[in-house]
Amino acid sequence: MENEKIIQDPWARTTTRNGLVGDEVISALQKSIRRGYEKAACEFAYEMYITSPQYEEKLWRRLLAISVEDIGMGDPQAALMVHTFNQMRKEFQYNESDRLMYIIHAIRYLCACEKDRSSDLLKNIMIKSFAMGHVPEIPDYALDKHTTRGMKMGRDSHHFLHEASKVIPQAEVHNDYKEQYDEILKHYDPNNTVENAFQFNTWQV
């Protein structure tokens, strides 16, 4: 007899309040949100909610994941919004109907969002590439005064200011702090400071 094919997800071995298979309900929730099927998503969410508090927790973990996995850069605020709704619902008891309102609102928000799955795609590229033996090479721009190799190369605060601290894209800046700091570096000697100068811990905790 051919072995029955099952997945390792423990939710696949559970059923909901109305007898639906757990992993299928969870999948239907996420796929409905992906397609913007607001009412269907809310129905599957409600089925999870009324099954048990444990299913409610699973529901919120999926909504948090969806806010990044499926919405992503389409609406970077989605993760913050869902996290906020998740915290707010905890102000109400499990059997208070107002608690359910935050699930409905979170799902409606996610359904309406523009969606971008690039973060999940990039995550999967990393996982499978590394599994096939890929190891990244340390680029030259990473070697600065904060690394042993960078120090041996003589890369100092001046190098850090003009090269290692480079940011892209650079916002329009309305101050001259970089120029001020560059001028200070022309005169600064770490071995010639005042006696009571504060000493910072150079260890990166």
Q: What is the pLDDT of residue 63?
A: 99
- Indicate the domain borders of the chain: 10-118, 140-185
Residue 38's nearest CA partner among 51, 29, 47, 50 is 29
At 126, the amino acid letter reads M
How confident is the prediction along the chain (205 residues), in pLDDT tens digits per residue? Answer: 456 677 788 999 999 999 999 999 999 999 999 999 999 999 999 999 999 999 999 999 999 999 999 999 999 999 999 999 999 999 999 999 999 999 999 999 999 999 999 999 999 999 999 999 999 999 999 999 999 999 999 999 999 999 999 999 999 999 999 999 999 999 999 999 999 999 988 887 7
Measure the CA–CA gap between 161 and 84, rounded to whole angstroms.
38
Was domain 10-118 assigned CATH 3.30.830.10?
Answer: no
- Cis status, amide bond into 169, omega within 30 of 0: yes
Q: What is the pLDDT of residue 3?
A: 63
Q: What is the pLDDT of residue 56?
A: 99
The string of DSSP letters for 65-115 reads HHIIIIIGGG-TTHHHHHHHHHHHHTTS-TT-HHHHHHHHHHHHHHHHS--
Residue 165's nearest CA partner among 154, 176, 156 is 156
Maximal CA-CA distance, the chain: 83
Provide, for the chain, the percentages of residues in helix, strand and coil under a 3-state DSSP scheme, each rounded to the nearest 5.
60, 0, 40
Measure the CA–CA gap between 20 and 12, rounded to whole angstroms.
10
Q: What is the pLDDT of residue 2?
A: 54
Residue 50 contacts residue 44 (beta carbons within 8 Å): no
pLDDT digits (tens, 9 = 90+) for 20-53: 999 999 999 999 999 999 999 999 999 999 999 9
Residue 115's nearest CA partner among 35, 38, 59, 42 is 35
Residue with tokens 């989605």: 78
pTM of this structure: 0.88
pLDDT digits (tens, 9 = 90+) for 103-112: 999 999 999 9
